[in-house]
Copies of this chain bind each other. A is one copy, B any other.
Amino acid sequence: MNSTNQQKSVGRPREFEEDRVLDAVMNTFWNQGYEGTSLKDLCSATGLHKGSLYQAFGDKHQLFLKSLKYYMEQSFKEVAASAYLHDSPMANLRSLLNEITTKCIEGEGCMVVNALVEMAPHDQEVKQMIDQSYAMKQRFLTDLIDRAQRDGEITIKQEPDRLAAVLMVTLAGLAATVKGFSNTDHISYVLEDVLSSWA
């Protein structure tokens, strides 16, 4: 295995980069949903024929799972960094929530929330993936809140994990709400307002 992931192997070489394709697939599912996306859509988005798509990634459902996983990894990477910029846990929490809010507004929502609403009730695999990522994010927030409380920057007397649950629900709500409004001014203050009510 080398750094460019182009290990020479027997047979005709791939003409596409897997991540480039996964990115296109992800974007298509992200803004059309699972049922709203046809294989034809995926082909025109990726430039591949469905035969190639199937051989490389499996059927539509597997393709969705892989693109969802890709989304989770990428978006977490993109966002988690903002939680380590400052010394104070509260400042880190603030900039994290700001970053998520910004990304959520720019991206017109969150693929995980889309999948949660459309698929989780009828798709055990999707449900499990979301469950896992939810638990991880919840722990991440709980930790930040806990430390902010010890620092005295959060004075409200409530269990950190319950406060984290409030943030998680609010963030999900943000991702949903954003899809209905062209003017997102009101919405962008919501997380700040929640946080400042804990001061």
Given contacts A113-B117, A121-B108, A198-B197, contact A190 B177 (CB under 8 A): no
Instruction: Decide yes or no whether A40 CB sits under 8 A from chain B.
Output: no
Q: How far is the CA of A172 from the CA of B181 in the complex (A)?
A: 14
A35's partner among B35, B156, B186, B194 (CB-CB below 8 A) is: B35
A165 in contact with B189 (CB, 8 Å): yes
Residues of chain A at interface, number, CB under 8 A: 48
Q: How far is the CA of A156 from the CA of B193 in the complex (A)?
A: 11
Q: How far is the CA of A116 from the CA of B177 in the complex (A)?
A: 7
B190 in contact with A169 (CB, 8 Å): yes
Residues of B within 8 A of A118 (CB): 33, 36, 114, 117-118
Name A111-126 residues within 8 Å CB distance of B. 113-114, 116-118, 120-122
